[in-house]
Amino acid sequence: MAGHGAGPLQGVRVVEFAGLGPGPFCGMLLADLGADVVRIDRRGARGGLIGALGATSLLDRGKRSIALDLKDPDDLTVVRALVERADVLLEGFRPGVMERLGLGPDELLTLKPSLVYGRMTGWGQTGPLATTAGHDIGYIALTGALGATGRPDERPAPPMNLLGDFGGGGVFLALGAVSALLHARATGQGQVVDAAIVDGTAVLTTMIHGMLDAGVWQDRRGVNLLDTGAPFYDVYRCADGRFVAVGALEEQFYAALLDGLGLSGDESLPDRTDPRRWAALRDRFAEVFASRTRDEWWQVFAGTDACVAPVWSLLEATRDGHNQERGVFVEVDGVRQPDVAPRFSATPGSVGPVPAPGQHDAEIRAELGL
């Protein structure tokens, strides 16, 4: 099997069972870094909402695709042949599905003892909710992360599905897969990686739990230092209806913020160290920011240490000067998309094309001698 690039994972073989969201995202991360990821697509067209989320997904970039029917004994033979040559397997079915197909970890670790068997679920392989359906919004709700997000007088604001599916799910599965792979290469012993979105999302809140325990964070949203409670860590509307983000936490950065706003030396400015004065301070900031457009404020603050940034839309972000110079986004096959992260000095990864379902059937079968 040949991967598309020469990243640090070149030579690592991955078999991924097609799915949505965090599992494919994990496979994308591995493919971006040079792994040869073979995606097993299901025969038949995908339609409706599932098609909208999954068809021609950029999460499948850099992978190869073979289309199989997992209920067909002949196709199951192909799956097992793929597993015998693989280092990592990724699946995101509900608990028990792979076992019913005869592809559970007991069977496949017997077939390939060094296999890293990566399992991506929302609730985990165990627990009272393990077999129930769910999506990102529910997983992050159960961890407390959703309830902590948003302003105090508004409903919690789901950050799309970035926090749960991708942050708490796909990234943690990728970390687990690479970690288990290092262990397998050192010992010859494979294992199951149980990556649950609730687990990973909970880990992302570790610092906040520490602050709760220390008494410097309140267990309610929108009143704390980093959740828009503080006026010097918030988002402000400008004269054109667009927004700027302010994160001037440290004293020297706050001084630069006041300088840019023309408020340096203003003795009537409310004391920022007194949370009781935060509402009044926010009103002053809001009044000043509303006097100019977003882009005019960016001209004022760009290149300073005031920790002020324009709130770009997704498309605007691709045109930002810093992002362009650094190459944060790249165009592949006419599609603008994020480039590989993180970056490696000796073995850089690369973005590959998105395969059509079953595009590499003949190629993969030939490699397997089938």
**Could you tell me the fold of the domain covering 13-204+340-367?**
Rossmann fold (3.40.50)
The secondary structure element, H or E, covering residue 280 is helix 278-289
Q: What is the CA radius of gyration of the chain?
A: 24
Round the average pLDDT of the chain to a whole number and report it. Answer: 95
Of residues 135, 183, 199, 361, which has the active-site annotation? 135
Whole-angstrom CA distances from 22 to 16, 121, 204, 301, 365 are 12, 9, 16, 37, 27
Q: Please, are residues 294 and 238 in contact by the beta-carbon 8 Å criterion?
A: yes
Strands of the chain (E only): list them.
Answer: 13-17, 36-42, 64-68, 88-91, 116-121, 191-196, 233-237, 243-247, 308-310, 329-332, 335-338
Q: What is the DSSP letter of 276?
A: G
Record the tokens describing residue 234, joined without a space: 């918030």
Domain boundaries, the chain: 13-204+340-367, 233-319
pLDDT in tens, 134-183: 999 999 999 999 999 999 999 999 999 999 999 999 999 999 999 999 99
Q: What is the DSSP letter of 162?
A: I
Nearest Cα residue to 348 out of 58, 34, 35: 34
**Largest interatomic CA distance in the chain:** 80
Residue 110 reports pLDDT greater than 50: yes
- On the 0-12 / 13-18 / 19+ scale of CB atoms within 10 A, 325 is exposed
Distance CA 165, CA 330 (A): 23
CA pseudo-torsion sign 320, 324, 329, 334: positive
What pLDDT is recorded for position 5? Answer: 61
Let me know if 259 is a catalytic residue.
Answer: no
Let me know if 165 is a catalytic residue.
Answer: yes
**Could you tell me the fold of the domain covering 233-319?**
formyl-coa transferase, domain 3 (3.30.1540)
Of residues 60, 87, 165, 227, which has the active-site annotation? 165
Distance CA 181, CA 175 (A): 10
Whole-angstrom CA distances from 147 to 2, 130, 135, 158, 215 are 45, 22, 16, 9, 18
What pLDDT is recorded for position 44? Answer: 72
Residue 53's pLDDT band (cuts 50, 70, 90)? low
Q: Is 69 helix (H, G, I), strand (E, B) or coil?
A: coil
Mean pLDDT in residue range 92-99:
96
Residue type, 242: R
pLDDT in tens, 61-81: 999 999 999 999 999 999 999
HSE-CB of 45 using CA atoms within 13 angstroms:
3
pLDDT in tens, 8-21: 999 999 999 999 99
Nearest Cα residue to 351 out of 16, 20, 28: 28
What strand order describes the sheet that includes 308-310?
A: 233-237, 243-247, 308-310
Residue 330 reports pLDDT greater than 60: yes
Residue 56 reports pLDDT greater than 80: no
Q: Please, are residues 46 and 338 in contact by the beta-carbon 8 Å criterion?
A: no
Reported residue count of the chain is 370
Q: Is 137 helix (H, G, I), strand (E, B) or coil?
A: helix
Record the tokens describing residue 238, joined without a space: 């400008």
Contacts 24+ apart (CB under 8 A), 328-331: none
Residue 1 reports pLDDT greater than 50: no
What pLDDT is recorded for position 52? Answer: 54
